[in-house]
Amino acid sequence: GEDVEQSLFLSVREGDSSVINCTYTDSSSTYLYWYKQEPGAGLQLLTYIFSNMDMKQDQRLTVLLNKKDKHLSLRIADTQTGDSAIYFCAENSGDYKLSFGAGTTVTVRA
Amino acid sequence: DAEITQSPRHKITETGRQVTLACHQTWNHNNMFWYRQDLGHGLRLIHYSYGVQDTNKGEVSDGYSVSRSNTEDLPLTLESAASSQTSVYFCASSEVKATGELFFGEGSRLTVL
Protein backbone atom coordinates (compact mmCIF):
# COMPACT_ATOMS: atom_id res chain seq x y z
CA GLY A 1 0.00 0.00 0.00
CA GLU A 2 0.94 3.63 -0.38
CA ASP A 3 1.37 4.08 3.34
CA VAL A 4 4.27 1.66 3.55
CA GLU A 5 7.34 2.23 1.36
CA GLN A 6 10.36 0.07 0.73
CA SER A 7 13.03 -0.15 -1.92
CA LEU A 8 12.27 -2.64 -4.69
CA PHE A 9 15.55 -4.48 -5.16
CA LEU A 10 18.59 -5.57 -3.17
CA SER A 11 21.56 -7.62 -4.39
CA VAL A 12 23.87 -9.12 -1.80
CA ARG A 13 26.82 -11.48 -1.83
CA GLU A 14 26.46 -14.82 -0.11
CA GLY A 15 27.79 -14.61 3.43
CA ASP A 16 27.31 -10.83 3.71
CA SER A 17 24.59 -9.11 5.71
CA SER A 18 21.43 -7.87 4.03
CA VAL A 19 19.58 -4.81 5.25
CA ILE A 20 16.07 -4.09 4.00
CA ASN A 21 14.52 -0.76 4.91
CA CYS A 22 10.91 0.33 5.24
CA THR A 23 9.07 3.49 6.18
CA TYR A 24 5.50 3.65 7.35
CA THR A 25 3.08 6.46 8.06
CA ASP A 26 0.60 5.28 10.69
CA SER A 27 2.07 6.28 14.04
CA SER A 28 -0.67 4.34 15.83
CA SER A 29 0.48 1.01 14.40
CA THR A 30 0.87 -1.41 17.26
CA TYR A 31 2.69 -4.17 15.41
CA LEU A 32 5.00 -4.14 12.41
CA TYR A 33 5.83 -7.26 10.44
CA TRP A 34 8.26 -8.73 7.97
CA TYR A 35 6.94 -11.37 5.60
CA LYS A 36 8.89 -13.52 3.12
CA GLN A 37 7.54 -14.72 -0.22
CA GLU A 38 9.34 -17.42 -2.16
CA PRO A 39 8.60 -17.93 -5.88
CA GLY A 40 5.12 -19.30 -6.54
CA ALA A 41 4.18 -19.32 -2.88
CA GLY A 42 2.18 -17.30 -0.42
CA LEU A 43 3.61 -14.98 2.20
CA GLN A 44 5.01 -16.37 5.42
CA LEU A 45 5.62 -14.38 8.55
CA LEU A 46 9.32 -14.00 9.31
CA THR A 47 9.09 -11.87 12.41
CA TYR A 48 7.19 -9.01 13.98
CA ILE A 49 7.94 -6.28 16.47
CA PHE A 50 5.70 -4.54 18.96
CA SER A 51 5.71 -0.78 18.65
CA ASN A 52 7.12 -0.19 22.14
CA MET A 53 10.29 -2.12 21.25
CA ASP A 54 13.40 -0.73 19.55
CA MET A 55 14.97 -4.01 18.52
CA LYS A 56 14.16 -7.67 18.22
CA GLN A 57 16.62 -10.44 17.41
CA ASP A 58 15.72 -13.91 16.25
CA GLN A 59 18.69 -16.06 15.18
CA ARG A 60 20.04 -14.46 11.96
CA LEU A 61 17.29 -11.83 11.86
CA THR A 62 17.46 -8.44 13.57
CA VAL A 63 14.61 -5.96 13.40
CA LEU A 64 15.20 -2.32 14.27
CA LEU A 65 12.36 0.13 14.85
CA ASN A 66 12.73 3.89 14.97
CA LYS A 67 9.29 5.19 15.93
CA LYS A 68 10.30 8.83 15.72
CA ASP A 69 11.24 8.48 12.04
CA LYS A 70 8.67 5.71 11.37
CA HIS A 71 11.49 3.56 10.02
CA LEU A 72 11.73 -0.22 10.21
CA SER A 73 14.62 -2.36 9.04
CA LEU A 74 15.36 -6.05 8.72
CA ARG A 75 18.93 -7.29 8.88
CA ILE A 76 19.74 -10.82 7.76
CA ALA A 77 23.16 -11.96 8.92
CA ASP A 78 25.25 -14.40 6.86
CA THR A 79 22.88 -14.27 3.90
CA GLN A 80 22.38 -17.61 2.14
CA THR A 81 21.02 -18.53 -1.29
CA GLY A 82 17.84 -19.71 0.42
CA ASP A 83 17.24 -16.14 1.54
CA SER A 84 16.58 -15.09 -2.06
CA ALA A 85 12.93 -14.00 -2.02
CA ILE A 86 10.63 -11.00 -1.85
CA TYR A 87 10.42 -9.41 1.58
CA PHE A 88 7.37 -7.39 2.59
CA CYS A 89 7.12 -4.87 5.35
CA ALA A 90 3.62 -4.49 6.83
CA GLU A 91 1.94 -2.44 9.51
CA ASN A 92 -1.17 -3.18 11.50
CA SER A 93 -3.48 -0.40 10.37
CA GLY A 94 -6.14 -1.25 12.88
CA ASP A 95 -8.98 -3.74 13.13
CA TYR A 96 -6.68 -6.62 12.15
CA LYS A 97 -6.06 -5.16 8.67
CA LEU A 98 -2.47 -5.13 7.49
CA SER A 99 -1.04 -2.61 5.00
CA PHE A 100 1.86 -3.91 2.94
CA GLY A 101 4.73 -2.29 1.13
CA ALA A 102 5.51 -3.14 -2.50
CA GLY A 103 8.10 -5.72 -1.49
CA THR A 104 11.90 -5.84 -1.79
CA THR A 105 13.31 -8.52 -4.11
CA VAL A 106 16.50 -9.84 -2.56
CA THR A 107 18.94 -11.62 -4.87
CA VAL A 108 21.83 -13.50 -3.29
CA ARG A 109 24.83 -13.90 -5.58
CA ALA A 110 27.67 -16.36 -5.11
CA ASP B 1 -2.58 -29.79 10.25
CA ALA B 2 -4.72 -26.69 9.94
CA GLU B 3 -4.30 -24.82 6.69
CA ILE B 4 -5.71 -22.34 4.21
CA THR B 5 -6.29 -23.46 0.63
CA GLN B 6 -7.17 -21.58 -2.51
CA SER B 7 -8.65 -22.86 -5.76
CA PRO B 8 -8.10 -22.79 -8.60
CA ARG B 9 -4.37 -22.06 -8.46
CA HIS B 10 -4.40 -20.91 -12.07
CA LYS B 11 -7.27 -19.70 -14.23
CA ILE B 12 -7.59 -18.09 -17.64
CA THR B 13 -10.89 -16.45 -18.49
CA GLU B 14 -12.35 -13.98 -20.95
CA THR B 15 -13.43 -10.41 -20.44
CA GLY B 16 -17.00 -10.17 -19.16
CA ARG B 17 -17.20 -13.62 -17.61
CA GLN B 18 -18.01 -14.21 -13.96
CA VAL B 19 -15.21 -15.84 -11.97
CA THR B 20 -15.18 -17.17 -8.42
CA LEU B 21 -12.01 -17.88 -6.47
CA ALA B 22 -12.42 -20.14 -3.49
CA CYS B 23 -10.72 -19.83 -0.11
CA HIS B 24 -11.07 -22.39 2.66
CA GLN B 25 -9.38 -22.35 6.07
CA THR B 26 -9.43 -24.98 8.78
CA TRP B 27 -8.09 -22.87 11.64
CA ASN B 28 -11.55 -21.67 12.65
CA HIS B 29 -10.31 -18.08 12.31
CA ASN B 30 -12.92 -15.35 12.46
CA ASN B 31 -10.98 -12.90 10.26
CA MET B 32 -10.52 -13.53 6.55
CA PHE B 33 -9.06 -11.28 3.84
CA TRP B 34 -8.56 -11.11 0.10
CA TYR B 35 -5.56 -9.28 -1.35
CA ARG B 36 -4.30 -8.86 -4.88
CA GLN B 37 -0.62 -8.70 -5.71
CA ASP B 38 0.63 -6.62 -8.62
CA LEU B 39 4.17 -5.67 -9.57
CA GLY B 40 5.13 -2.37 -7.99
CA HIS B 41 2.03 -2.25 -5.79
CA GLY B 42 2.64 -5.02 -3.34
CA LEU B 43 -0.51 -6.39 -1.76
CA ARG B 44 -3.71 -4.38 -1.82
CA LEU B 45 -6.76 -5.27 0.23
CA ILE B 46 -9.90 -6.14 -1.75
CA HIS B 47 -12.45 -7.33 0.83
CA TYR B 48 -12.40 -8.67 4.35
CA SER B 49 -14.68 -10.32 6.88
CA TYR B 50 -14.67 -10.50 10.67
CA GLY B 51 -17.14 -13.34 10.92
CA VAL B 52 -20.18 -15.06 9.44
CA GLN B 53 -22.45 -12.67 7.53
CA ASP B 54 -19.92 -9.85 7.90
CA THR B 55 -18.20 -8.40 4.82
CA ASN B 56 -16.32 -5.13 4.29
CA LYS B 57 -14.76 -3.29 1.35
CA GLY B 58 -11.04 -2.77 1.13
CA GLU B 59 -9.08 -0.21 -0.87
CA VAL B 60 -9.62 -1.87 -4.29
CA SER B 61 -13.09 -3.44 -4.02
CA ASP B 62 -14.67 -2.20 -7.28
CA GLY B 63 -15.67 -5.14 -9.48
CA TYR B 64 -15.35 -7.70 -6.67
CA SER B 65 -17.72 -9.18 -4.11
CA VAL B 66 -17.46 -11.69 -1.26
CA SER B 67 -19.87 -13.61 0.92
CA ARG B 68 -19.36 -15.29 4.29
CA SER B 69 -21.93 -17.98 4.97
CA ASN B 70 -19.72 -20.00 7.32
CA THR B 71 -16.48 -19.57 9.25
CA GLU B 72 -14.30 -21.63 6.90
CA ASP B 73 -14.97 -20.05 3.49
CA LEU B 74 -14.69 -16.63 1.87
CA PRO B 75 -15.21 -16.92 -1.90
CA LEU B 76 -14.19 -13.95 -4.05
CA THR B 77 -16.36 -13.24 -7.10
CA LEU B 78 -15.49 -11.10 -10.09
CA GLU B 79 -18.91 -10.22 -11.49
CA SER B 80 -17.66 -9.28 -14.98
CA ALA B 81 -13.95 -9.92 -15.36
CA ALA B 82 -11.80 -7.13 -16.84
CA SER B 83 -8.22 -7.22 -18.09
CA SER B 84 -7.24 -4.91 -15.22
CA GLN B 85 -8.16 -7.75 -12.86
CA THR B 86 -5.37 -9.95 -14.18
CA SER B 87 -3.37 -10.51 -11.01
CA VAL B 88 -2.34 -12.95 -8.33
CA TYR B 89 -4.95 -13.19 -5.58
CA PHE B 90 -4.14 -14.17 -2.00
CA CYS B 91 -6.53 -15.19 0.69
CA ALA B 92 -5.47 -14.82 4.32
CA SER B 93 -6.93 -15.41 7.74
CA SER B 94 -6.16 -14.42 11.31
CA GLU B 95 -7.50 -15.12 14.73
CA VAL B 96 -8.71 -12.54 17.15
CA LYS B 97 -5.55 -12.01 19.14
CA ALA B 98 -3.06 -9.26 19.80
CA THR B 99 -0.36 -9.80 17.19
CA GLY B 100 -2.69 -9.82 14.17
CA GLU B 101 -0.50 -12.22 12.20
CA LEU B 102 -2.00 -13.17 8.84
CA PHE B 103 -1.78 -16.72 7.50
CA PHE B 104 -1.74 -16.80 3.70
CA GLY B 105 -2.87 -19.27 1.08
CA GLU B 106 -0.65 -20.19 -1.87
CA GLY B 107 -2.35 -17.75 -4.23
CA SER B 108 -4.54 -17.93 -7.34
CA ARG B 109 -3.14 -16.57 -10.59
CA LEU B 110 -5.93 -15.15 -12.75
CA THR B 111 -5.47 -14.08 -16.35
CA VAL B 112 -8.29 -12.17 -18.06
CA LEU B 113 -7.99 -12.10 -21.87
- DSSP string covering B73-90, please? B--EEESS--GGG-EEEE
Across all residues in chain B, what is the average pLDDT? Answer: 94
- Res A1: pLDDT: 44
Pick from B40, B90, B94: which is nearest to A96 by CB?
A: B94
- CB-CB under 8 Å, A44 with B107: no
- CB-CB under 8 Å, B41 with A48: no
Give B106 to chain A, closest Cα distance, Å.
4
What's the Cα-to-Cα distance from B35 to each of A32, A86, A91, rounded to whole Å? 18, 16, 15
Pick from A1, A4, A42: which is nearest to B107 by CB?
A: A42
Pick from A43, A97, A101: which is nearest to B104 by CB?
A: A43
- CB-CB under 8 Å, A48 with B101: yes
Interface A-B, measured as beta-carbon pairs within 8 A, has a size of 56
- CB-CB under 8 Å, A45 with B31: no
- Res A27: pLDDT: 78
Rounded to whole angstroms, how far apart are CA atoms B75 and A57?
38
Tens digits of per-residue pLDDT, B12-26?
999 999 999 999 999
Q: Mean pLDDT lowest for which of A34-38, A65-69, A95-99?
A: A95-99
- Res B2: pLDDT: 66
